[in-house]
Structure 1
């Protein structure tokens, strides 16, 4: 298996992987989001705020994972204000249970460490939660959510 960083040349592939991930998480693909995903990946890959990794087996992409970087105002517990968010974690069902997601998490955490980030967040699907907890992610009650729609 080959692990590699995605580039803007991979955007069409990233769009398809993201849509597979969303359906896998139980969301209904009842609207077209290709244009929005294209702009998101183009902008975030170009400005460096997203690093997306792909896992290939014989030229077929079988898994992916990403880390996004963003800043909050500095605080006493995070003087830089820099944080990271793990996103777009997806493994083809034929490849699950082989440790691929854990290898991706190690790579993504290393990306965060290289930029001096010590706080990484994620929202886990029911399927991904055991992987993240085994890796060392812990439940946190830090967030509240409001849906404006």
Structure 2
């Protein structure tokens, strides 16, 4: 299994993986079509300028898993008191036929290595129920974050 960096040509792959991830966590196709129609033009310039980066795992010429990463603005915080950025992990997806082979673990290690290379000392992610056991096993833990849809 070969790892490579995400590139501008991976726009549709990231969109497909993101939709599949949310579909498997119970989101409706109607919502996902709307989301992807908005996500695609959001993602394209970020892939071009490198503000959305990450990795793809390849089996031969086929992309079988991927992870998105960002360095997001965040005020200095007790978890990172000298930095104004956090690493952010998103769109982690492994094709069904390739699950339970350690690919998610490998993607997360690539993410941590990349954040360390960029000198980011703290990272966050939002876990699906399926992904939560992997993240916990890798030392991630729940925080006090809460969420609410407003004005919708």
Would the TM-score normalized by the shorter structure come out above 0.5? Answer: yes
Return the match for 1:125 from 109, 125, 128: 128
How many residue pairs end up in the alignment?
148
Residue equivalent to 2:24: 24
Residue equivalent to 1:52: 54
Can you give the 5+ residue segments of structure 2 that lack an aligned partner in the other structure?
none
Return the match for 1:108 from 96, 111, 122: 111
Q: Distance in 1 between matches of 2:54 and 2:12?
A: 13
Q: TM-score, normalised by structure 1?
A: 0.91
Query: Residue 37 of structure 1: CA displacement?
Result: 2.2
1:8/1:41 contact within 8 Å kept: no
Q: TM-score, normalised by structure 2?
A: 0.89
1:1-149 mapped onto 2 (5 Å cutoff): 1-31=1-31, 32-33=33-34, 34-75=36-77, 77-141=80-144, 143-148=145-150, 149=152
2:6/2:54 contact within 8 Å kept: yes
